[in-house]
Each structure stands twice: as C-alpha cells, then as structure tokens.
C-alpha cells in the first residue's frame, strides 16, 4: 500500500510512545520472520491468501499481487476511498485502528462503551425504504436485462424491438416489493443479507396516547433472550434524549425505548461542503502527514463521519470556529463537532440516525435568549425555528453534548457554562409527560403509568366519529385533567383527553375494596362517569365467483303466513340493518347468501340444468348486551369485490370488574357500586365518585398522587387548573394556602360523616379530585362461562377460548391438586366424562378395539367388552396403528 | 313516632335561610338516626319527573342516540305536581299515559350556516306544569346539543315519575350538607392537629347556635346529639322547602308501612291480605 519501512509503520501506529512501540514489536518481528521484505513479496503473499473472489468465469487469471491490490483497494475497509491508487488514507486508517487496539490493551478505559448512546445510530423509515428500493431497483434492472437478452437472442429480428413492452410486463415489481415489505414488515435485502421481520407495525389508534407513544418508539436490535443487563440499563447518556420512564415491562424491558419530548433524529448531510469548510479552517490533509506529526503532542486528528480528514494543531480554535459557522447557518444545523480528549481527535458527524436535542446557547456566562426574545415569542413574532436561525438555540447530539457544559437552570450558569437547558421536564417523553409530579413518584410507577396511559379510553382524534376502525373505544364525557403538565399542553392531550376528574376519598369502605379494588358511586355512573362507547367493525364481502355465480344480499325471508322470522326482524328490504337499529343477541344485520358449492361448480353460472343453490352466510350480532348499528358502508375492495362494512356501537357504563387507573401506575378494578346516600360525605355535602383504599399508598410510594389530590382539590376550590409538571408544577405550599383560604384543612383531609349511620367517620379522610382513566379491559369483553357447547372435530374435546364458546380448562396444575387431594372420581369426571368420553368395544383375547360384539382381528364375537375411554385416547391408538404400532388393551377385573 | 308531629317535644325545624334553590335549616329535638334518614330520603327517595324514554324519529346530529337520550334524562324538570302522577308500574295503562307520564317533543333542523345550539327549553311539553327547569324567564336552559347545517333532530320524549334510588336523574338534590355538634362536645371527633386544635380546626358558623361545654366539666358520655344543621341545594325540580316536606312525608309513609307490617306480624289473624298460596307462609 505504499508503506514499506518498519519505521514508517511503527511511527504511524505508535507515534513516539515507547509503550506502544514495545507492544508493536512482536508484530514487526513476525513480519521480518516471514521473510517478506519487498512490497511485491508482501502483495504476492496476500494474493495467495485471497480466495477465488467472485472472479467471473472466463476472465483471465490475474497475478496474485493484482488480486491483492484489488482486495486491498475495494474490499478491506471499503468505506475509505482509494483514489488513483493512492493508499495513503487507507494506511493511516489501518494504522489508527491498530493504535486503538494498542490503546485498549494498555489502558482499560480506552475501550468504547457499546451501550453509549453516542455510539448508536437509529434506522429511520427513509433509510430503510431507500435500502429496499435500491435492492428492488437492482433486481428490476437485472431482470429487465435478462428478459431483453432473452428476446434479442431469438433469431427472428423481424419486428422492431421495444423495451417498453418488457418494462410493462415487470412494471410493478418495485411497487409490489415495497407494498409487500411495508404491509408484512419483512425486510429482506440481498445486499446486506438482511432478513428482518417486524420492521413495520400497524399504528395503534386505540387512543391518542397509544398512537403518539408508538410514533416515538425505538426498538433495539439486541436479542431479547440474552441475559445481559447493559443494553437494558438506563444509560447516563440518554438523559434528555430517551425517556427514562417509558419502557415496557417484561422481556422487552429496556430494549424498547421512547424518544424524549424535544429530540430530533438527524438525516444524512452532504459531506463535501463540510470537508471544504474543515480544510478552510486549517485542517491539514492526511496524505501530507507523517506518523510523527500525526501523534505529536497538541495535534488532533480530524474525523468526518469516521473517515480521517487530516490533523489540526489548534483543535479548540477549530471546533470553536466550526460551531460559529454552524450557528450562523453556514453549516447544516445538525452537523455535530466535538473533541475527544482521550484519543486526541476531533469528530465531525453529519450522518443520519443520531439523536439530538435543542439547547440554549450561553456565551460568557450569559444566556443568549433575553427577555426580548421571549416577549417576541409570546407575541408570535418569533417561532422556535427563528431561534435556531438566529443562533440562540442549537441542536446537540449525544457526543457534542458530552463536550459541553450544560446548566439546568439560568441561575446555575457559571463562567464556563456553554449551554443551558430549555426545560428539564423535556427529558421525559410524551407518554410519561402526562404524569403529574412524576419526580415525587417511585420510578417504576411512572413506567407502569407509561404502559397504562396507552390503554386509557378517551378521545382519539378529531375525526373519531367519521372513522371506521376495527375496534374503537371512546369516552362519552372526556375531561382534561385538573392537574395538567406542560407536556400535556404541548402534545394537546388537553384537547384529546382520556379520563375524567373524579372526587376521590382515600378510606376503606365495605370490604369490597381490598387488593386495589375501587368503590364507585352509583349516582356518578348514572350521571355519566366513566361511560364509554365501543365501536366495532364487521366486514362482509359479496363475492363473485369464477364460474359466474355470486353472493347475494336479500331482504328478510317470510314464513307461509307472511311473517318475518324473529332473528330477521331488523333486516330491511335491502338485506341490511339500517344505522340506528338496535340489535339483540342472535339478530341478523346482514342477510347474505352464498352459492352452496363455494363457486366451484363449473356449470352453475352458465345457466346449467339446475338453478344455483344458496346457503345462508349472514352476519349475526353475537354479544350478550345489545348494540346499535352506527354506520353502514358499501364499497369495493382493490379486486373489485363489493364490501359491506358495519360499524356496531355499544354504550357501556362501568360495571363490577371494569378496570380504572389514576395517572400514577395505580390500577384497580371496580369492586362495588354503592348508592350515593350510603356513601360518606363532607359537611359541605361533597360525595366521592370513587373511594380508594389507603393500602395502595405505603408500598407504592406514589407521593405524586398525593400531591395531585391536593393540587386538584385546590384547583377545584379556586376554579383554576393546576400544573404538576415534572421538576416544577404548582407548589404544595401554594396549594395548601388555597385550601386554608377556602376553609379546608391544608392537609387535604376533611371531617366526613358516614352515609349509613350519620355519625362522623372515626378518621379524617384525605380527599380531592383526581384524574382517573378508564382502561380498555372491560368485563363485558371478557366474561365467559359454559356448561355445554361446541367440541373440536378431531378430538371431540370442548373447544378452547371465549370466541369459540370454549370450555374452561382444568389444567396441569389443577390436575395435580386433585391428584394430591385424592379426588379420583372428580378427576375422572372432569378429564373424561365431562370432556370426550367414548365407548369402545375391546376384545379381551387380542386386546384390540373392535366392533360391538365382534372382533375383526380374532374373527370372533366371544370376548368383547365395552369400556369408556377418552376419544383422544382412541384417536391415539388409531394413529399409532397407522404407523405400525399396535397398542393392546389388557383387560382385568377390579 | 306517630305522636311526634304535634308533640311539643317532637322534632322541630327552624329555617335559617331559604332561596330558590337552597335551604338552610336546623332540625332539633330528634335522634341522629332520624336526621340521617331525612338526608338519605331527600337524596334518594323523593320522587320527581325526568325523561325516561326517548323515541328517535330522526337524528343526524353528531351525538349518537344513547348519548342524547342520556343527556335528556339528566335535564331537571319542574316537578311540583309530581304527586298528581302515578308511577308507571302502578298505573293501569299498558305503556304510558297521561296519568303517569308527560310527553315532550323536539324537532329542530339547522338550516343556516354555522352551528345551531339546541337548549332544553326548546322541548315542547304536553303538560304545562312539567317543563325543563330554568333560572328566570331569559334563561334558555341547558344546552342539549349543537347542530351543523343540514343536521336535524326529531325526537319524542316521555318523562316519568321516579326516585333517585333507581337512577340519579330523579334526584332533586345537588349537595346536602349535614352537621351536628360543632363544638365537638360529644367527642364524636378526635381532632388531628399539629400544634393547637383551636387554631387548626376553625369553628363552623353553626357553632354560634350552641354553647361549648366547660372543658373542666366532667364528660357526659351518655349525651346524644339532638340538633342538626342542614344545607340542602336542589337542582331546581322542586322548591327546597317542598323537598324537605316531601322527604318527611316519604319517610312517614315508609314508617307507616313498616308499622302496619309489624302489626300484621304480631296479629296474623287480623291479616286480611295474607295469601294462602304463598309458599313461605
């Protein structure tokens, strides 16, 4: 590669450092021992090691040294360009790599931290689609070429050849490939041998927060089965970049993360202008530098996107100038530059996928943002982008952030400060930002709430009533929380809320509130508390079959007396139920019929001998509670089949067992619904909507919830909204003052009278308004019981699952309990008699299953006995017989 | 109990304040259980009128049928003539009739640009005595829904008599405040405080009505509360004074029924209503 002397190599790698030279010595000695003293000899040696690299058959065999040069130029460290056979840059790069190894050997802290966020890059949709497109485009081109060659090879060249025809044949290869990849999520690329599933997900629109949460989600490539804590742990470098609270529980904990509020992910910036700027700012080109200069004291090697650009002897000045140019807009805002003091490098990054966030620039101990700017921002004259343009605010990525001195508040600015935070609460993401006073909660509670906030029922979008989703939960009277946060305002949760402010008393009541169960006021439910609508889509396709037959939609049939059968009562003459119709269990809402042969009979449609036979394939309402038809949509699918979509609606008031949660990871089910007059009340006549058991507090340590109680009570008393923003929010002192001014105790507790006896309750009751979310898990969707019902065809055992009206399984562990207890008859009943009992006739002589009174094996009717075995057992015997294993049953008297 | 009404030593009511929607009174000379029963009755068992059935002829508004029906049910109706109605289940009619219900009609179509707000006062009642509650002649009532151009609502509502035990829409009460023994002479309360009870637990205004016991006097553990301070707010369906009156009457009727049943229980022979076919006899 043009680097021949040991001295030169040693200098490039080790500089003047004797320690590194010592470490390098064995390598050089081995080089000498192998007796390769000329460049040609070395190249030949490398060439002999090169395996038959994709050489085209038929091409002339090259000399080994040519192979070696080719490999060195194009395969080894391919991203360092070799221009005109100049290997210098690549040499320096290899030398730097070797030096890194030596550094890591000699000093342990010189290894890179692979969990450090600055060493990570995010893959974005654009990048992934670009890769996919590249792959598809290449395939398209090669396919086209192949086809064109095929045509041109043919002897008859009579008609003019037009590629256009070929293009038309394969025109949608790219479109199809993209569509398939995006709809299945399977990304398989030839170039990188990439084959990944689950790259795309369907955006969950179950609630506004779940949609928002999904759009900020980052999933790690790390294998979830490996038991390493590093990648899952909270990394200090993710401060302000990734939300510390919002991660799922369980196997994906810490691997799936969420962006913090103000983060931005960079995209690729052009390198060439940056390179020019760097050279203009005094970077000396690598090709002109010797190893001695490279590692000299005070010089820094300048990297651009990991490529060596050159060296600078005044790194601080270079970085300062560079940043100045960036702040003035001469360099793209998302290009970062920082000094790595450990390795004496200056790194410039302009690549995509870095996470960065905005910070206010501080100069000479003074924030660049003055009151004037804030006023102009308030009056709408300036916007955030203008702040960026004016150089008041800049985006820093994780690496550059590490090179800065960032104050959290203005008052903490010292002379050496370079930046100040815009707002510390933005270190949380959009989902965790809903929690009031999260900085007072035990941290797992915030994580739990981050998971639960996505399940809360509320308003999902402004177009929610025009949408037809497969499943949609809407709250009837959603309210914005009494205790808001700044994040809530920023993400417009106050306009699309999911929850209601309820009056909550913290006390025990009735014993139906153990294990986090809630007592709910019946009158509140009557008045609409927690009420929600469930919309569900059902689709039917009116098919046309290949043989010319088609499905038909008919009006209700009539009996001989001209009456409409009961279950068809809601069907109109067009065969459908109209919007607004009330549907009960078992009622039809689409009366569709399909050809009974499934469209396979070739003669059917062609006016053959027999008229087409139809069987009924209707849509039936299958929920225990009644529902309504909300919308009916008739449309066509891509393949021109008629689609009929029904949106069915149910309005549900909370019932026993429905799940609720506050915003502090404190979930609970409704344990009892109590008449208002039985509930405790304060001397002002305030009744609770919800009573929560105080045992929920000591172990959970959700102090933020207590603070929410007080703040929202104060807010309700004064008639204003309060803030519970992270690291800020309304001060407890002020809240208590408001309470005292209005005649309440500053503790938030009140004297309460029992509604049952009229006597005072023997303790002061902590109460206030608290934002409660109704979660999507509802008893109505889950309750299930069965005595008799359908059975599976193969095994004759009861079906499984609620949707198939399945039986309740007496599982492995339950079985063990019964064995342990010795309840053998019960076991027999549960496992056989109530399941798949089957009578078989067994021949006592041969032990095989025969007919009633006849053994086919023995050709006799002498010794047949009936026994009862599970049908699955009989099935097993027959399957064994099918594979030439003959199980024999040995009969014995007991 | 029956003697109490004319008994000078029986319960007394002294009204301290009265306006259109609230009453502040002192109930004295009675037992705590009676006072609490009165409160419970006011909340749950005083009958009023409220819309119970809604027939939708046309609804092209944003609000779905159940939503609107729920809203209509919550509209308080003037119910001073509620006694003239029968409960539907006691009525002889099959479905509903004039004797047990009042009908309302609402037919609004928005024809102009912008939104058309529909108020509760636009409900046309079949009975002049039962209509949506308003606060004065200029009040348009409660907003029921808003319509955009081209949207139409045509509904027929049936208001029935009922009690809040069944559904809160029949409750005539908003908040009911209730207090006794403001000085804590009976020591039913054990005040929690940091430094001083007197400073941290200010006395309510009801404290002026009673004397504080001498702190040095021996504690009378047999004493019972006799005076109760009420503050009742109504939703407007009933006048506050008639609410209290009706509540006492409902209470009396229930106790009357109980007394009768007890009598029957003690003298089974005199029981004319006893049905021999009933299995549990």
Residue B33 near chain A (CB below 8 Å): yes
Interface test with A, best of B24, B25, B173, B178 (most A CBs within 10 A): B178
Look at residue A548 in the predicted model and tell me its pLDDT: 79
pLDDT of residue A513 exceeding 80: yes
> For A6-111, which CATH superfamily applies?
RNA polymerase Rpb2, domain 2 (3.90.1110.10)
CA geometry: angle at B34 spanning B31 and B38, to 5°?
Answer: 145
pLDDT of residue B272 exceeding 80: no
* A15-36 mean pLDDT: 82
Where along chain B do the CATH 3.30.1360.10 domains lie?
A: 2-45+173-268
Angle between helix A88-106 and A18-33 (nearest 10): 120
Q: How far apart are CA A447 and CA A445, in angstroms?
A: 5
- Percentage of chain A lying above the pLDDT 90 cut: 42
- Under the phi-then-psi rule, with left for phi > 0, alpha for psi from -120 to 50, and beta for the rest, what region is A599? left
Spatial CA neighbour of A644 closest among A549, A576, A556, A557 = A576
Most confident of A88-102, A274-288, A531-545: A531-545
Interface test with A, best of B43, B182, B231, B233 (most A CBs within 10 A): B43
- Delimit the domains of chain A by residue range: 6-111, 265-421, 432-531+656-774, 538-573+587-652, 802-882
Cross-chain residue pair A523–B74, CB shorter than 8 Å: no
pLDDT interval class at B196 (50, 70, 90): confident
Rounded to a whole number of angstroms, the distance from the CA of A634 to the nearest CA of chain B is: 19
The answer to whether the CB of A503 falls within 8 A of the CB of A709 is no
Cross-chain residue pair B179–A758, CB shorter than 8 Å: no
Spatial CA neighbour of A28 closest among A47, A13, A10 = A10
**Fold exhibited by the domain A265-421:** Hypothetical Protein Ta0175; Chain: A, domain 2 (3.90.1070)
Choose among A522, A527, A758: nearest Cβ to B33: A758
What pLDDT, in 10s, does the model give residues A123-177? 888 888 888 898 888 888 888 888 888 877 777 666 677 777 777 776 788 888 8
On chain A, the residues whose CB falls within 8 A of the CB of B233 are 685
Residue B231 near chain A (CB below 8 Å): yes
pTM for this model (two decimals) = 0.86
pLDDT of residue A412 exceeding 50: yes
Neighbours of A383 (CB within 10 A): 11
CA geometry: angle at A181 spanning A175 and A183, to 5°?
Answer: 95
Counting one residue from A and one from B, how many pairs have CB atoms under 8 Å apart?
A: 86
Q: How far apart are CA A183 and CA A170, in angstroms?
A: 20
* B234-243 mean pLDDT: 91
Weakest-pLDDT range from A435-444, B3-12, B44-53: B3-12
Q: Which residue of B has its CA nearest to A527?
A: B168
Where along chain B do the CATH 2.170.120.12 domains lie?
A: 48-166
Choose among B67, B168, B176: nearest Cβ to A685: B176
Look at residue B275 in the predicted model and tell me its pLDDT: 52
Look at residue A669 in the predicted model and tell me its pLDDT: 94
Q: Which residue of A has its CA nearest to B24?
A: A684
Alpha helices per DSSP H over A535-641:
none
Cross-chain residue pair B44–A677, CB shorter than 8 Å: yes
Look at residue B4 in the predicted model and tell me its pLDDT: 46
Q: Which residue of B has its CA nearest to A649?
A: B64
Q: Name, in order, each residue with C-beta under 8 angstroms of A201's C-beta and a sequence gap of 6 or more.
A: A185, A214
| Architecture category of domain A432-531+656-774 in CATH | Beta Barrel (2.40)
Weakest-pLDDT range from A9-13, B19-23, B110-114, B245-249: A9-13
Cross-chain residue pair A580–B59, CB shorter than 8 Å: yes
Q: Which residue of A has its CA nearest to B74?
A: A527
Choose among A528, A676, A764: nearest Cβ to B70: A528
What pLDDT, in 10s, does the model give residues A293-328? 788 788 888 999 888 888 888 889 999 999 999 988
Greatest pairwise CA separation for chain B in angstroms: 77
On chain B, the residues whose CB falls within 8 A of the CB of A649 are 64
Query: Which residues of A belong to the active site?
Result: 516
SS3 B61: coil
pLDDT interval class at A600 (50, 70, 90): low
> For A802-882, which CATH superfamily applies?
RNA polymerase alpha subunit dimerisation domain (3.90.1800.10)
Q: Name, in order, each residue with C-beta under 8 angstroms of A29's C-beta and a sequence gap of 6 or more.
A: none
What pLDDT, in 10s, does the model give residues A37-78? 788 888 888 888 877 555 555 556 677 777 788 888 888 888
DSSP code of residue A92: H
Q: How far apart are CA A528 and CA A222, in angstroms?
A: 46
What pLDDT, in 10s, does the model give residues B35-70? 999 999 999 999 999 999 999 999 999 899 999 999
Q: How far apart are CA A237 and CA A427, in angstroms?
A: 12
- Under the phi-then-psi rule, with left for phi > 0, alpha for psi from -120 to 50, and beta for the rest, what region is A359? beta
Q: How far apart are CA A402 and CA A237, in angstroms?
A: 8
pLDDT of residue A661 exceeding 60: yes
Instruction: Return the C-alpha torsion angle A135, A139, A140, A145, nearest 10.
Output: 150
- Percentage of chain A lying above the pLDDT 70 cut: 96
What pLDDT, in 10s, does the model give residues A824-855? 999 999 999 999 999 999 998 888 998 988 99
Q: What CATH number does the domain located at B48-166 have?
A: 2.170.120.12
Look at residue B2 in the predicted model and tell me its pLDDT: 43
Cross-chain residue pair B171–A651, CB shorter than 8 Å: no
Q: Which CATH entry fits the domain spanning A538-573+587-652: 1.20.1630.10, 3.40.30.10, 1.10.8.60, 2.40.50.150?
A: 2.40.50.150
* A879-884 mean pLDDT: 94
**Fold exhibited by the domain B2-45+173-268:** Gyrase A; domain 2 (3.30.1360)
Instruction: Return the C-alpha torsion angle A723, A729, A735, A736, nearest 10.
Output: 150
Cross-chain residue pair B39–A760, CB shorter than 8 Å: no
Cross-chain residue pair B65–A628, CB shorter than 8 Å: yes
On chain B, the residues whose CB falls within 8 A of the CB of A749 are 192
Q: What rounded mean pLDDT belongs to chain A?
A: 87
pLDDT interval class at A653 (50, 70, 90): very high
Look at residue A35 in the predicted model and tell me its pLDDT: 78
Cross-chain residue pair A526–B178, CB shorter than 8 Å: no
The answer to whether the CB of A804 falls within 8 A of the CB of A793 is no
Structure tokens at A148: 């064109």
* A364-390 mean pLDDT: 87
What pLDDT, in 10s, does the model give residues B89-124? 888 888 888 888 999 999 999 998 989 999 999 999
* A797-820 mean pLDDT: 92
pLDDT of residue A252 exceeding 80: yes
Look at residue A828 in the predicted model and tell me its pLDDT: 93
Taking only residues 180 to 209 of chain B, the set having a beta carbon closer than 8 angstroms to any beta carbon of chain A reads 188-190, 192, 200-202, 204
Look at residue A70 in the predicted model and tell me its pLDDT: 81
DSSP code of residue A833: I
Q: Which residue of A has its CA nearest to B173?
A: A685
CA atoms within 13 A on the CB side of A245: 31
pLDDT of residue A391 exceeding 60: yes
Look at residue A2 in the predicted model and tell me its pLDDT: 67
């Amino acid at each position: 590669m043009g680097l021949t002397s040991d001295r030169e190599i040693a200098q490039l790698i080790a500089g003047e450092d004797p320690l590194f030279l010592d470490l390098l010595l064995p390598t050089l000695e081995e080089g000498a021992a192998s007796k390769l003293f000329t460049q040609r000899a070395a190249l030949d040696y490398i060439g002999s090691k090169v395996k038959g690299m994709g050489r085209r058959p038929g091409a002339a065999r090259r000399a080994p040294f040519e192979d070696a040069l080719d490999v060195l130029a194009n395969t080894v460290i391919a991203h360092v360009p070799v221009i005109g056979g100049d290997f210098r840059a690549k040499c320096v790069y290899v030398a730097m790599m070797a030096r890194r190894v030596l550094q890591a050997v000699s000093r342990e802290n010189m290894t890179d931290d692979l969990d450090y966020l600055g060493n990570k890059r995010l893959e974005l949709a654009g990048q992934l689609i670009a890769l996919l497109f590249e792959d598809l485009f290449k395939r398209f081109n090669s396919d086209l070429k192949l086809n064109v060659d095929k045509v041109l090879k043919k002897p008859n060249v009579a008609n003019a050849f037009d590629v256009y025809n070929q293009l038309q044949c394969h025109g949608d290869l790219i479109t199809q490939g993209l569509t398939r990849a995006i709809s299945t999520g399977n990304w398989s690329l030839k170039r990188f041998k990439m084959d990944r599933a689950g790259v795309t997900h369907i955006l969950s629109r179950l609630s506004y927060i779940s949609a928002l949460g999904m759009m900020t989600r980052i999933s790690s490539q790390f294998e979830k089965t490996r038991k390493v804590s590093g990648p899952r742990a909270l990394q200090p470098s993710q401060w302000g970049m990734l939300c510390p609270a919002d991660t799922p529980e369980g196997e994906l904990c810490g691997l799936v993360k969420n962006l913090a509020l103000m983060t931005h992910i960079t995209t690729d910036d052009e390198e060439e202008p940056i390179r020019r700027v760097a050279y203009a700012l005094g970077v000396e080109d690598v090709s002109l530098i010797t190893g001695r200069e490279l590692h000299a004291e005070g010089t820094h090697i300048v990297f651009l996107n990991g490529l060596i650009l050159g060296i600078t002897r005044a790194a601080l000045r270079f970085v300062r100038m560079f940043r100045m140019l960036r702040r003035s807009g001469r360099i793209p805002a998302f290009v970062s530059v920082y000094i790595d003091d450990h390795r004496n490098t200056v790194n410039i990054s302009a690549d995509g996928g870095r996470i960065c966030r905005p910070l206010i620039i501080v100069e000479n101990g003074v924030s660049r943002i003055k009151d004037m700017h804030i006023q102009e921002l308030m009056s709408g004259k300036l916007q955030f982008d203008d702040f960026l343009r004016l150089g008041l605010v800049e985006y820093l990525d994780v690496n550059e952030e590490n090179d800065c001195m960032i104050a959290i508040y203005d008052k903490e600015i010292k002379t050496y400060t370079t930046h100040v935070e815009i707002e510390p609460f933005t270190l949380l993401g959009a989902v965790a930002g809903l929690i009031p006073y999260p900085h007072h909660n035990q941290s797992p509670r915030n994580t739990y709430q981050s998971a639960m906030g996505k399940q809360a029922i509320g308003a999902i979008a402004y177009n929610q009533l025009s949408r037809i989703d497969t499943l949609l939960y809407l709250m009837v009277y959603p309210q914005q929380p009494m205790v808001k946060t700044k994040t809530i305002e920023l993400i417009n949760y106050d306009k699309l809320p999911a929850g209601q402010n309820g009056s909550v008393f913290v006390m025990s009541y009735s014993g139906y509130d153990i294990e986090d169960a809630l007592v709910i006021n019946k009158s509140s439910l009557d008045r609409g508390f927690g009420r929600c609508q469930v919309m569900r889509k059902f689709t039917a396709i009116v098919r046309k079959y290949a043989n010319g037959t088609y499905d038909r939609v008919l009006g209700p049939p009539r009996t001989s007396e001209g009456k409409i059968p009961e279950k068809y009562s809601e069907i109109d003459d067009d065969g459908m139920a109209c919007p607004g119709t009330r549907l009960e269990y078992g009622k039809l809402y689409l009366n569709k019929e399909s050809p009974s042969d499934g469209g396979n009979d070739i003669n059917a449609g062609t006016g053959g001998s027999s008229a087409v036979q139809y069987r009924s394939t209707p849509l039936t309402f299958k929920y225990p509670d009644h529902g309504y038809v909300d919308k009916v949509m008739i449309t066509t699918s891509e393949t021109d089949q008629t689609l009929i979509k029904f949106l069915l609606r149910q309005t549900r008031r909370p019932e026993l067992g429905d799940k609720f949660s506050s915003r502090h990871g404190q979930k609970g089910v409704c344990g009892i619904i109590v008449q208002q007059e039985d509930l405790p009340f304060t001397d002002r006549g305030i009744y609770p909507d919800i009573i929560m058991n105080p045992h929920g507090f000591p172990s959970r340590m959700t102090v933020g919830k207590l603070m929410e109680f007080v703040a929202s009570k104060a807010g309700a008393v004064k008639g204003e909204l309060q803030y519970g923003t992270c690291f800020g929010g309304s001060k407890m002192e002020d809240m208590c003052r408001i309470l005292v001014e209005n005649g309440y105790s500053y503790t938030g507790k009140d004297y309460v009278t029992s509604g049952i006896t009229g006597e005072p309750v023997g303790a002061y009751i902590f109460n206030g308004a608290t934002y409660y979310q109704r979660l999507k898990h509802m008893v109505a969707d889950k309750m299930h019981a069965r005595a008799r019902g359908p059975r599976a065809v193969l095994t004759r055992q009861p079906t499984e699952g609620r949707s198939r009206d399945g039986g309740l399984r007496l599982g492995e562990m339950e079985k063990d309990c019964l064995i342990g207890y010795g309840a053998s008859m019960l076991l027999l009943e549960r496992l056989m008699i109530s399941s798949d009992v089957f009578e078989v006739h067994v021949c006592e002589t041969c032990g095989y299953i025969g007919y009633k009174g006849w053994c086919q094996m023995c050709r006799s009717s002498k010794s047949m006995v009936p026994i009862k075995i599970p049908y699955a057992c009989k099935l097993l015997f027959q399957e064994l017989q099918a594979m030439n294993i003959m199980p024999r049953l040995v009969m014995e008297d007991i | 109990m029956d003697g109490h009404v004319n008994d000078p030593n029986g319960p007394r009511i002294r009204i301290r304040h009265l306006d259109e929607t609230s009453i502040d009174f002192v109930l004295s000379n009675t037992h705590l259980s009676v006072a609490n029963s009165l409160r419970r009755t006011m909340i749950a068992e005083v009958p009023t009128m409220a819309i119970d059935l809604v027939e939708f002829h046309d609804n092209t508004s944003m609000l779905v049928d159940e939503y609107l029906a729920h809203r209509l049910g919550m509209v308080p109706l003037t119910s001073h003539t509620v006694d003239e109605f029968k409960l539907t289940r006691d009525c002889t009619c099959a479905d509903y009739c004039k004797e047990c219900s009042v009908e309302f009609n609402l037919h609004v179509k928005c024809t102009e640009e912008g939104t058309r707000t529909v108020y509760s006062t636009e409900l046309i009642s079949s009975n002049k005595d039962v209509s949506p509650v308003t606060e004065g002649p200029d009040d348009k009532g409660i907003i029921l829904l808003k319509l955009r151009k081209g949207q139409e609502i045509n509904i027929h509502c049936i208001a029935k008599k009922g009690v809040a035990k069944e559904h809160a829409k029949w409750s005539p009460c908003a908040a009911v405040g209730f207090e006794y023994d403001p000085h804590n002479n009976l020591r039913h309360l054990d005040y929690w405080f940091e430094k001083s009870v007197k400073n941290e637990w200010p006395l309510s205004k009801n404290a002026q009505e009673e004397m504080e016991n001498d702190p040095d006097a021996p504690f009378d553990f047999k004493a019972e509360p006799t005076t109760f301070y009420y503050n009742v707010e109504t939703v407007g369906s009933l006048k506050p004074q008639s609410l209290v009156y009706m509540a006492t009457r409902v209470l009396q009727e229930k106790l009357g029924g109980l007394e009768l049943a007890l009598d029957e229980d003690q003298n089974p022979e005199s029981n004319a209503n006893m049905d021999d076919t009933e299995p549990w006899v």
